[in-house]
Structure 1
Amino acid sequence: MTPITEVEGRRIPLSNLDKVLYPATGTTKGELLHYYASVAGPLLAHLVHRPVSFLRYPDGPDGQRFFTKNPPPGTPAWVKTAEVPRTEDKGARQVVVADLATLMWAANLVVEFHTPQWRAEAPARADRLVLDLDPGAPAGVVECCAVARWLRDRLAADGLHAYAKTSGSKGLHLLSPLEPTPSEQVSAYAKTLAREAEAALPGLVTHKMAKVLRPGKVFVDFSQNSAAKTTATPYTARAKERPTVSAPVSWAEVESCTDPAALTFLIGDIVPRLERDGDLLAPLSEPGAAGRLP
């Protein structure tokens, strides 16, 4: 019998709570749902205004994985959706995770949360710039930290403040709050930054995606600023071997990192970090924090 929980007046069936999703750590679906409930405050702050894409992995990271932008079959009528621009599908809608009940309904589907850099009320007008630092082996997050420091200083020269989070995989994401700006302008600026980083750090950076160019280097992926692209949402768990999280990190942690393990965080690590530091990405949404592209 599927247990039903009540969240904010909504009855939500929770299925297979004892199912092991991450065999490497023995982490169950129930533990994953508990994690999402525990970090709901800061996670919702980064979800509530944005249409969500789901990477679903109902049988764990070793099972089938599928990426969906459309509301999943069986989406309750009370789940908020927003119309989103898609050239191939006019009138398309996506889920907006606007409250705790929707968060727990979505978490029960076993998902990674991915969001664009724009809000649902202003499609294709970015209020965040993102740079995805993706290392090619043998480079790793330590090399990403070196690139992140250069990009932080370069952004600062243009009056933009950068914040960092782990990708939950191998790399780092840099985010900078913006006054709403057309996504194509942000993409062009981000591409310029990636090229400048490659010119300044030629042995460490590439701005091109071609895999042949990437061994031992950090690919500065500027493409996620495109209105059609999404990035792993802060605090989402990832469909990796272990239940890693895309976790905000301080610049002190970035500057001192000499071991990839120092910037690898599992679901059990996040609540203590929040209790100690609060949401390190909260300034992304603070009034007056947004910068303007040069």
Structure 2
Amino acid sequence: MASDAVEIEAGGRTVRVSSPTRVIYEETELSPEVTKLMVAQYYVAVEDGLLRALRNRPVALERWPKGVREGMEMSTRADSHGDAFYQKRMMRGAPSYVESTRVLFPSGRPADELCVTEVAVAAWAAHMGAITFHPWPTRRADNDRPDELRIDLDPFGSATFADAVRVADVARELFAELGVRAFAKTSGKRGVHVYARIEPRWTFTDVRHAAIAFARALEGRTEGVTTKWWKEERGDNVFVDFNQNCRDRTIASAYSLRPAPGATVSMPVTWDELRGVTDPCDFTLHTVPARLAADGDAWAEIDDVHHSLEPLLELWAADPTEMPYPPEYPKMPGEPKRVQPSKAKKG
């Protein structure tokens, strides 16, 4: 009901938030409950860092309208009856200040997707039940040429967050040798994300090939790293998910909340800070705004230099062996058979 709504100030605009007392994250032993209003207020509070990650990018929204509860599941292509879902197309009835941008999906179909141009857009998205922002690695001036390379380090099996931190530091060294300044953030769960800004000159295919080449170089430099796409082959290693650089594949943005108990945050950190993080769940809606206000954004300089992709493409040229694409992709040029090894052997 309209009478249940409240209004908040967001970057000079007034944003209406309905059902403000709805509990989105339940209380835990270490964290108080989080309401829908608190989610919207959080995104206003982290405006500086959030907009550095999202501004002028197409953004898919991860919406949990019923809140985050144990046992709740995300809708999938196979089962659309989940409790949460990804909103990839622009919603109807948005305020006039909420803009969109045209993107092409891997199928070749076009769509208009939300474009975050100011913090009021993020607050409005929270009003719509969004808790996580999944930006494309492009700006709306050219949604076919990324300006961001993303290295997703995902602990698999018995590998831990500490393992991901160690591998991330090796990735930093490798990037530095290639003349690239890289930046790190926690995933908000068990992983670590390493980002580098690049010149928006190359296609998604080029950027993916660069990521594959980097992943192979990382795998060869240190133990405990795998580039194996099939889960049955990854073992107890940190998986480098090169396919996060494909068109329409996205990662939770810096300062995004995650659907995990305690309202954890994907938190940008300096490299020195990352080495000292023992529990990424310490970064939450309750702790991050004060930290950002006191210390500033660890990624404040990320846009200072946009690097050339040529050094990584030279690595790719030395071993241009294609890897499997995500399952929703059409068959791609040069791609090996998209079937897990155990099933291929049976065939």
Q: Normalising by structure 2, report the TM-score.
A: 0.78
**Partner of 1:52 in structure 2?**
59
1:127 aligns with 2:147: yes
**Partner of 1:40 in structure 2?**
47
Question: Residue 179 of structure 1: SS of its match in structure 2?
Answer: coil
**Partner of 2:329 in structure 1?**
none
Confirm or deny: 8 A CA contact 2:106 2:248 kept in the other structure. Answer: no
Unaligned runs of 5+ in 2: 73-82, 312-347
Count of matched residue positions in the alignment of Structure 1 and Structure 2: 289
Rg larger for = 2
C-alpha displacement of 1:99: 1.6
Confirm or deny: 8 A CA contact 1:166 1:263 kept in the other structure. Answer: no
1:176-255 aligned at under 5 Å gives the runs 176-180=196-200, 181-202=202-223, 204-255=224-275
Cα distance, 1:178–1:20 mapped onto 2, change above 3 Å: same
How far apart, CA to CA, are the structure 1 residues paired with 2:262 and 2:231?
25
1:107 aligns with 2:126: yes
Bigger strand share: 1
C-alpha displacement of 1:110: 2.5
How far apart, CA to CA, are the structure 1 residues paired with 2:300 and 2:15?
29
How far apart, CA to CA, are the structure 1 residues paired with 2:103 and 2:173?
34
How far apart, CA to CA, are the structure 2 residues paired with 1:9 and 1:201?
49
1:275 aligns with 2:293: yes
Cα distance, 1:235–1:198 mapped onto 2, change above 3 Å: same
C-alpha displacement of 1:245: 0.5
**Partner of 2:325 in structure 1?**
none
1:30 aligns with 2:37: yes
**Partner of 1:290 in structure 2?**
306
* Alignment equivalent of 1:266, drawn from 271, 278, 284: 284
**Partner of 1:144 in structure 2?**
164
C-alpha displacement of 1:97: 1.4
Q: Normalising by structure 1, report the TM-score.
A: 0.91
How far apart, CA to CA, are the structure 1 residues paired with 2:51 and 2:280?
26
* Alignment equivalent of 2:90, drawn from 54, 71, 74: 71
Confirm or deny: 8 A CA contact 1:168 1:247 kept in the other structure. Answer: yes
Cα distance, 1:4–1:21 mapped onto 2, change above 3 Å: closer
Cα distance, 1:131–1:122 mapped onto 2, change above 3 Å: same
How far apart, CA to CA, are the structure 1 residues paired with 2:60 and 2:245?
15
> Which letter does structure 2 place at the counterpart of 1:195?
R
C-alpha displacement of 1:213: 2.9
Confirm or deny: 8 A CA contact 1:4 1:11 kept in the other structure. Answer: no
Confirm or deny: 8 A CA contact 1:250 1:280 kept in the other structure. Answer: yes
**Partner of 1:18 in structure 2?**
21
Cα distance, 1:198–1:6 mapped onto 2, change above 3 Å: closer
Percent of pairs with identical residues: 33
Deviation track 1:142-193 (CA, whole Å, cap 9, x = no partner) reads 1001111111111111101110001111101000111113222111011011
C-alpha displacement of 1:275: 2.5
Cα distance, 1:264–1:171 mapped onto 2, change above 3 Å: farther
1:2 aligns with 2:4: yes
How far apart, CA to CA, are the structure 1 residues paired with 2:235 and 2:84?
26
Confirm or deny: 8 A CA contact 1:141 1:170 kept in the other structure. Answer: yes
C-alpha displacement of 1:113: 0.3
C-alpha displacement of 1:6: 6.0
RMSD: 1.9
Confirm or deny: 8 A CA contact 2:152 2:241 kept in the other structure. Answer: yes
C-alpha displacement of 1:9: 6.9
How far apart, CA to CA, are the structure 2 residues paired with 1:207 and 1:60?
34
Confirm or deny: 8 A CA contact 2:44 2:120 kept in the other structure. Answer: no
How far apart, CA to CA, are the structure 2 residues paired with 1:167 and 1:263?
10
C-alpha displacement of 1:262: 5.5
Unaligned runs of 5+ in 1: none
1:84 aligns with 2:100: no
